[in-house]
Amino acid sequence: MTTTTDARRLLGGAADPKVLRELSGEELDALAQQIREFLIEKVAAVGGHLGPNLGAVELTLALHRIFDSPHDTLLFDIGHQAYVHKLLTGRVEDFDTLRQGDGLSGYLSRAESEHDVIENSHASTALAYADGLAKARQLSGEDDRAVVAVIGDGAMSGGMAWEALNNLGGAPERPVIVVLNDNERSYAPTVGGLADHLQQLRGQSDDSIDWLVKNSSRISAGEGTGGPLPVAHSLFELLGFAYLGPVDGHHRPSLEEALHLARELERPVVVHAVTAKGRGYEPAESEPDDRMHTCGVLDPATGAPAKKASAPGWTSVFADEMCALGDEHRELVALTAAMPGPTGLAKFGERFPERFFDVGIAEQHAVTSAAGLATGGLHPVVGVYATFLGRAFDQVLMDVALHRLPVTFVLDRAGITGPDGPSHHGMWDLTLLGAVPGMHVSAPRDAAQLRELLAEAVAYEDGPTALRFPKASAGADIPALERIGQVDVLHRSSVADILIVAAGPLAAPAIEAAEALQAQGIGVTVADPRWALPILPELTQLAARHHLVVTVEDNIRHGGLGAALTRALADASNATPLRALGLPGRFIPHGNRNDLLSQAGLDAEGITQAILRACAPEPFQPAKER
């Protein structure tokens, strides 16, 4: 019998996945249990993606036993299901720093390990990576290196996944193995025709695996099946794949048998593994919505949050206001791409189920479907993370804006998100949306303004609108001293030296900076444009009455509010100089949100120092000799 101490030794000794091939079945079962206990302990302490990883323990063990990483390539779509992979490739000791500044990434990271090949944590991309990598291997003659892509059933609903399946299934000479990790959900339960099809497949017998083992040589040789399959054809077979499954994703021997066969077939194969999200942790298994897809710090014994939020979050405020507006506007409908809870639209869906649409992980489809709803006389609100909006930029531009359709985009997780890292920081949306003709973008500074601006957006019928807010608490409301047209003045000095134009929640540190500067004899006005894009004429007029304009935004400085105001001032023949403060034009790592904003100079101290530097006289430069 393997003891708990032995199991811990196994976990510590599994730094090299080759070790797994030397373990007995009993040792592997003990290791699986220890991995679950370890993940619950570590993720409870710092937060992270718990449910997806608890469901992928046996699957990941089987993958590393059958395939020789990194010689064989394992591609994990999204990467939120790869904590077990990290443990099995030498990162056990780093888990205390998970998602912390300068610590272990919550997703795959090529800087961490040679076993991490891709680190884009946007869904539905791994199959396209696999297609290209398999082509490269074919051209270079590396036929002995398997390419395996692990994708969840939720991510399989994305358009890119189907584009890749179309290419992979039509190339029998490239033996890519697609492992479908089917737990019936992404964040929320998987929806659509694919979900129905997978449910039918899940109801079939595992006898299909035994049958395919007996007929593998005929299939591999392209001689046909020698008779009908013991189960109905899957959609994947119709696309050109061999289909192995359904396989119990928590029975390692069955998984290993299916994966071994998939490799031996030497053709495109889908291995359909049925798993349970949150497996082995009762608080996750009994959670009715997302099975602890992601969680904050929690009590590992109960699964309850370790502490309650001191103030309502932006998402919560939006969720309540959407329901209130839904009562007022019967034409209001809502769409989400598989994230009803995280985007705040779950409450609206519960209250108005006939006016709520979850389209799966398909941002492009969500936007153009919203265009169709607007064409039909409704006002759609599309809830999406700011970082994911870029996936549907063409649809925003050509399907919504070109037709001047009244669609409202609500961009959650705008700016710095914190521990999720570079793929999830929402720091490009102002730049992208600033290029869309007729697009109006607002950035509420507080909860009261979110309610007000959302109501204005829903009432606007002459084109698209967008609201952006961060992943954070909404904080205290900041009343305006005066409203000039659409622009709110939040702070004013008797002397009009500096105008700070602050986007959204950065109004609070801008006011702090203004007070610090005023104490040093510098007069500062702080203005919140409310509608950040396009630039309002009253904002350029206000700028003309100051000696220097400083914009503050949690978007990259290339594009966005600062760049747009610079152009507007030039167009108005206004020579007032402008300094744009924003995020650097590079990928920002994971870390604490406030720390990352501070490092970018977007806290009160950073804004103050930037303005003092701008106001300081230039040092004397002697004339160069001619």
Question: Within this chain, do residues 434 and 502 fall inside the same structural domain, yes or no?
Answer: no
The answer to whether 145 is a known catalytic residue is no
Question: Within this chain, do residues 163 and 38 fall inside the same structural domain, yes or no?
Answer: yes
* pLDDT, average across residues 61-79: 95
Assigned domain for 453 exists = yes
Which residues does the annotation place in the binding site for Mg(2+)?
153, 183
Is the bond leading into 340 cis (omega within 30 degrees of zero)? no
Assigned domain for 402 exists = yes
Contacts of 544 (CB under 8 A, 6+ apart): 572, 574, 576
pLDDT at site 210: 61
| Spatial separation of the C-alpha atoms in residues 113 and 94, rounded to whole Å | 12
Closest CA to 420 of 294, 319, 316: 294
The answer to whether 277 is a known catalytic residue is yes
Assigned domain for 301 exists = no
Question: Within this chain, do residues 67 and 213 fall inside the same structural domain, yes or no?
Answer: yes
Assigned domain for 309 exists = no
Backbone phi, then psi, for 29, in 5-degree steps? Answer: -65, -40
pLDDT one-digit tens code per residue, 340-378: 999 999 999 999 999 999 999 999 999 999 999 999 999
pLDDT one-digit tens code per residue, 175-220: 999 999 998 877 677 788 988 999 999 887 555 556 555 665 655 5
| Residues forming a β-bridge with 524 | 498
This prediction has a pTM of 0.89
The answer to whether 391 is a known catalytic residue is yes
Of 285, 305, 322, the one marking the end of a domain is: 285
* Cβ neighbourhood burial of 538 (10 Å; 0-12, 13-18, 19+): middle
- What is the count of structural domains for the chain? 3
Assigned domain for 201 exists = yes
Distance spanning both ends of the chain, measured CA to CA: 88
C-alpha dihedral sign at 485, 491, 497, 501: negative
| Spatial separation of the C-alpha atoms in residues 472 and 413, rounded to whole Å | 8
Question: Within this chain, do residues 217 and 105 fall inside the same structural domain, yes or no?
Answer: yes
Contact yes or no for 207/230 (Cβ under 8 A): yes
The residue annotated as part of the active site, out of 65, 86, 277, 279, is: 277
Which residues does the annotation place in the binding site?
80, 121-123, 153-155, 183, 281, 363
Question: Within this chain, do residues 172 and 273 fall inside the same structural domain, yes or no?
Answer: yes
| Spatial separation of the C-alpha atoms in residues 90 and 115, rounded to whole Å | 10
Question: Within this chain, do residues 10 and 156 fall inside the same structural domain, yes or no?
Answer: yes
Question: Within this chain, do residues 433 and 520 fall inside the same structural domain, yes or no?
Answer: no
Question: Within this chain, do residues 95 and 211 fall inside the same structural domain, yes or no?
Answer: yes
Which residues does the annotation place in the binding site for thiamine diphosphate?
80, 121-123, 154-155, 183, 281, 363
The residue annotated as part of the active site, out of 391, 445, 471, 557, is: 391
Contacts of 475 (CB under 8 A, 6+ apart): 311, 446, 447, 505, 508
CATH of the domain at 232: 3.40.50.970
Question: Within this chain, do residues 137 and 261 fall inside the same structural domain, yes or no?
Answer: yes
Assigned domain for 300 exists = no
Assigned domain for 154 exists = yes
Question: Within this chain, do residues 228 and 323 fall inside the same structural domain, yes or no?
Answer: no
Q: Domain of 153? A: 4-285
- Please report how the helices 4-13 and 25-46 are oriented relative to each other, as an axis angle in degrees rounded to 10: 80
Of 468, 493, 510, the one marking the end of a domain is: 468
* pLDDT, average across residues 140-151: 96
pLDDT one-digit tens code per residue, 456-465: 999 999 999 9
Of 444, 468, 492, the one marking the end of a domain is: 468
Q: Residue 621 pLDDT > 90, yes or no?
A: no
Assigned domain for 299 exists = no
Question: Within this chain, do residues 33 and 182 fall inside the same structural domain, yes or no?
Answer: yes
CATH of the domain at 560: 3.40.50.920
Residues in the chain: 626
Question: Within this chain, do residues 277 and 324 fall inside the same structural domain, yes or no?
Answer: no
The residue annotated as part of the active site, out of 355, 363, 471, 530, is: 363
